[in-house]
Structures are given as C-alpha cells and as structure tokens.
Amino acid sequence: MDSLLDILDALESPARGGSPGTAAALGRALGVCSTPGCRAVLGEPPETPERPPLVTPAQWQLLTELLRHDPATPERGAVLAPDGSTVALGPLLAGIEAGLRSGGFGPPLPTLEPPADPLLAVTIAEALGTSFLLAERGDGNATALGPDGCWDDVENPQNYTLRGPPSPVPDPVAIGAMDGVLLGARLARGPLPVAELLRGYYGTGNGSEEGRPPSSYRRRDFGALVGQGRLEKEVAAVLGVLRALSPAPELLRDVGTREVAAVARRAAREFSERYVECPAVVPRCLWGARPYRGTPTPLRPPLGSVFLHHTLEPARPCRTFGACARAMRDMQRFHQDTRGWDDIGY
C-alpha cells in the first residue's frame, strides 16, 4: 500500500497539477473495469494512456502490473495494507470512481434498468452473482468464495500466492470490494484526493500505532451500510441488468427469475457469514511463522470445544499488522528456543 500511495501522491497532488479523479480514470484505462456490469455502469474504458510525466518508469511499471485485469491470475493486482489485509485494487478503484461520479465529480452515472445501486454493482454485486452462478452450474467441486493467501515476506512483501484453487471472489477481491463500497460512499458526499482518502482509511503514515485505523472496522461498517438483505437485493438486481444487456452474457441466457433470486439469496448469506460476521483469521504463513517441530496431528472436526487464549506479551497491545506479526514471531521464538517446545504452547 505504501508503494501505491507514493504513485497516487504523484498523480493527484494539486501542487503538481493532479486532481482527485486521476487515479480512478487511469485504473479503468488499464483494465480495472473489465466485466459487462462494470462497463454498463462506468462506461467503456478509455484508450491505454502513455506514462504520465509525474510518475517514474518504475512506478508506471508497477501500476500497470497491479491494475491489468487477468481472471486467470486473481492474486495479481493486490497489495498488503497496514492492518494485515490483502486488498484487490480492481473493486477498490471501481468503487472510488463510482463514488466520485455519484458525488458530482466527473460524468453522471447511468440509470440502470432494472434499478440497481451503481456502487454495489461495480464492487461486489456483479462479482458475487456471477461467481455463485458459475459454482452452481459447475461440476459440484467449484467454490464461489475464497481462498485466502500469503505474501512471500511480511516485512518486504513482493508476491502474493493464493492457498488453493481460486474462485472469482478470492479473499482479496472480497476485501477490496468492501473497502470500495465504504470509500465510494464517503466520496459520494464530496471529492477528496484518493491518496489522502486511502492514507486516512488504512492508517498509512498517520501514527496508527496510537489507534486502530478505520480499515480495521470494515466488517462492522460494511454490515451497517449494506446488510445481508440489501446485498441480496442488489445481487439480484445486477443479474437482472446483465440479462438485459445486448447481447446478454452467455452465463445468464437461460437463467430464470427464480434461479436469480435463489443465487442472490445464497450469495448474500454466504458472503455475509464469511466476511461480515466472522473475523478474519491470519494464517501462519502471513505472520512469518517458523515450521512446527515434529509432526503435528491435525484436529478432526467436529470439535467438542475450542479455547481462545490470551497472551501475556506484549504488555502493550500491537495496533499494526507489522507489530503484531513481530510479536507472534517473538513469542514463537521464545517458546521454541527457550522453552524447547515444538511450537507456541497454546
């Protein structure tokens, strides 16, 4: 996220002639909005631009690699945020553009038929609807949500790898979509430079050790803003918009109203259970765990009981992902090297 914000600062700094909509428009030109529903809302992408003189060749290469959409490699186009979440930039920037245009900055958004919320359409509703349709019409082994993944180095992250076969909505896409909704709703109330918006939301460079950044509350805030019932309604609405396109996407050509309603209901329920109601679990690979010593025996569900155990150290709570990951590694090192245990005692 730090690297992205450096680029956005260069693109949108008023002192350098930038403006709040530059990053979102550039993202769409580079492939952020590539699906039929997103194009129906935000329009066809402009021609691929030349490198702006405000960014260096290295920054431009990174930006184009992050924003070029390829469904076959959903792990690309994601960045690690200070709260430890991995955020896909596609739905994030699409939500930011929809919010800016809804707030009067840029061309007005179209009126969709059947009526659908443009912000939810370009961030999460289309992705959820098509993902669950694909899963229902697959071979029974297809998944509609997840998986999560890990970075190669938590201190200097470069490459992200999913921990299993990807769905159209892996964890980074779900998180980027939730953030796109929240930040798009904020921008609908008035424009703000995107770098400033992201810096405040993710806590980058704003002394976030003293308090949790707003992104830490995305589950609570998204649930309050959208809710499962509204999400179900918007997934059904955007599938209706896709069916009305000419030509309609092949996936929807033989889909009836009842099937759309059933898909929307299941999609909203499972998304809400996984990403809104349940807190995120940080896998070992993401905080840089050492290997377990010996041969662990995996637990076999269903489990009779589960204990959630606090820890004595660190005495002061960690408030950033980097600090929390270091605390976990310190604890593991103490238990393995000093205590001689196979892993963290808990």
Q: Which residue would you say has higher pLDDT here, 122 or 17?
A: 122
Average of pLDDT values for 97-106? 92
Of 94-108, 113-127, 228-242, 303-317, least confident by mean pLDDT is 303-317
For strands 86-88 and 149-151, give the pairing.
Answer: unpaired
Give the pLDDT score at 93.
93
Q: Is the pLDDT of residue 20 over 70?
A: no
| pLDDT over threshold 50, residue 309 | yes
Tens digit of pLDDT for each residue in 142-169? 789 999 999 988 888 889 999 988 899 9
As given in the structure block, the two tokens for residue 155 are 């201190």
- Tell me the pLDDT band of 71, cut-offs 50, 70 and 90: low
**What is the pLDDT, as a whole number, of residue 269?**
97
Could you tell me the pLDDT band of residue 206, with boundaries at 50, 70 and 90? very low
Strands 160-162 and 86-88: unpaired
Amino acid identity at 266: R
**Banded pLDDT at 207 (limits 50, 70, 90):** very low
Q: pLDDT tens digits, residue range 311-342?
A: 776 667 777 788 888 889 999 999 999 999 99
The answer to whether the beta carbons of residues 41 and 111 sit under 8 Å apart is no
User: Is 77 buried (19+), middle (13-18) or exposed (0-12) by CB count in 10 A?
Assistant: buried
Instruction: Enumerate the domain spans of the chain.
Output: 1-286, 307-345
DSSP letters for 161-226:
EESSSPPSS-HHHHHHHHHHHHHHHHHTTS---HHHHHHHHHTTTTTGGGS--GGGGHHHHHHHHT
Neighbour tally for 314: CB within 10 Å: 13
pLDDT category at 140 given cuts 50, 70, 90 is low
Which secondary-structure segment (H or E) carries 34?
Answer: none
Query: Residue written as tokens 């930038």?
Result: 18
Q: Give yes or no for residue 17 having a pLDDT over 80.
A: no
> Which of 195, 192, 177 shows the shortest CA–CA distance to 119?
177
3-class DSSP state for residue 151?
strand
Cβ neighbourhood burial of 291 (10 Å; 0-12, 13-18, 19+): exposed
Q: 142 versus 285: which is more confidently predicted?
A: 285
> To the nearest whole percent, how much of the chain has pLDDT over 70?
94
List all residues 6 or more positions away from 237 whose beta carbon is below 8 Å from its beta carbon.
112, 114, 115, 116, 117, 121, 125
Least confident of 2-6, 186-190, 211-215: 211-215
HSE of 216 in the Cβ direction (CA atoms, 13 Å)?
13
Average pLDDT over residues 75-85: 88
Confirm if 107 and 344 have CB atoms less than 8 A apart.
Answer: no
